[in-house]
Copies of this chain bind each other. A is one copy, B any other.
Amino acid sequence: MEDRTYTAIGSSNIAFIKYWGRRDDKINLPNNSSISMTLDKNVGTKTSVLFSDKLERDKLFINGKEENLGEGANEKLRFIGEMLDHYKKAAGINTKVLIVSENNFPSDSGLASSASGGATLAFLLANALDLKMHPREISIMARRISGSACRSVYGGIVKWNAGSKHDGSDSFAEQVVDHKHWPDLMDMIAIVDPSKKKVSSSAGHTVTVRTSTLYKARLQVAEEGVKKVVEAVKDRDFHALAEAVMRDSNNMHATMIDSWPPIMYLNDASRNIIYAVHELNESEGRYVAAYTFDAGSNAHIITTSSNRGKVIKMLEETGVVRSIIESRMGAGPEMLEGEESLIDQESLAPRHNRNPEIGKND
């Protein structure tokens, strides 16, 4: 196999109907289907890969830091190790690999980088090894690294079918519409001061499933929510979309609070933004914005480009927003041909060309 580097860029996604709770923690099989919007490349990950016999072992660098893939590695990194083995087996090679991955959004922004990084890596490896994999298969690979990563394998609006099989072969993502279907839909990410107390979302999934007395009722609600969002997206019906998005966020956070011990991600800043969005919509006499919160206190405000100014004004007036990251609907991961790789092929090491402003709190 020729020593050359391959580079891809992919992006994060924001769930309209959330993934919360798994029937299998090992291979990330969810209890309910979910649906998301893939974000643009400004909330993304660039990843380069080099297969070379000159490498003594598999190496992974994330945001400039080498991560351990072997014994003692954390869950996500172990999944990456397993995925590497799987890809190599499919390609019929045993060559060592160097992976260098960098996010282009601040690591202290509270945005999930694992969806962006996981999807980009799964996509990149399939292409670098020329495996002719169906995107569904790539999404299954990405799912194993981080559940929601499976949705970032496509652009546009993406649905992740929960599936029912034990081996996860029917738990994959598929595109509902591409990014050109509703191009003015966007996500304004309002970064607020984080809460002191943090709960890992991975642990949270398990706690809610095991303890929340309301969780079973949520599963039914979420499946219905996915159907509503699919219809709203197809019809470009912002009103229906907005209500489904906000209610699902509230519903998920309700089951979190009902968990034992309780999981509380929404803080006063989040609450202020929730009320401000309701007030903005009321004063406009129609829905112009929808809030949604993942496992953190930052607000994602879903809106359309014509209401961008109103949303910025509303967020600024809350007095709790530190910064806003704007992202449009993205086209999904792509190979970067001819662009500079993150890998220096001569030294078999990362190029260290990363933006010093990015990830400086790593």
A257 CB → nearest B CB, Å: 5
Docked Cα-Cα span, A26 to B221, in Å, equals 31
Could you mark each residue 198-229 of chain A with 1 if its beta carbon is under 8 Å from any beta carbon of chain B, else 0?
A: 00000000000000111011100100000000
Within 8 A of B (CB), among A272-292: 274-275, 278
Within 8 A of B (CB), among A294-325: none
Within 8 A of B (CB), among A249-263: 250-251, 253-255, 257-262
Known: A213-B221, A214-B214, A257-B257. A274 touches B250 (CB 8 A): no
- A165 interfacial by beta-carbon distance below 8 Å: no
A175 CB → nearest B CB, Å: 28
Q: Which of B197, B251, B268, B278 contacts A275 (CB 8 A)?
A: B197
- A271 interfacial by beta-carbon distance below 8 Å: yes
A320 CB → nearest B CB, Å: 11
Q: Cβ of A250 and Cβ of B262 under 8 Å apart?
A: yes
Q: Cβ of A214 and Cβ of B251 under 8 Å apart?
A: yes
Docked Cα-Cα span, A267 to B259, in Å, equals 18
Contacts of A258 in B (CB 8 A): 214, 247, 250-251, 254
Known: A214-B218, A268-B267. A253 touches B261 (CB 8 A): no
Docked Cα-Cα span, A271 to B196, in Å, equals 11
Q: Which of B197, B251, B253, B260 contacts A247 (CB 8 A)?
A: B260
| Listed residue (A247, A253, A267) with the most chain B CB atoms within 10 angstroms of its CB | A247
Q: Cβ of B257 and Cβ of A253 under 8 Å apart?
A: yes
Interface CB pairs A-B, < 8 A, 23: A195-B268, A195-B271, A197-B271, A213-B221, A213-B251, A214-B221, A214-B251, A214-B254, A214-B255, A214-B258, A217-B217, A243-B260, A250-B257, A250-B258, A250-B259, A251-B258, A253-B257, A254-B254, A254-B257, A254-B258, A257-B257, A262-B274, A264-B271
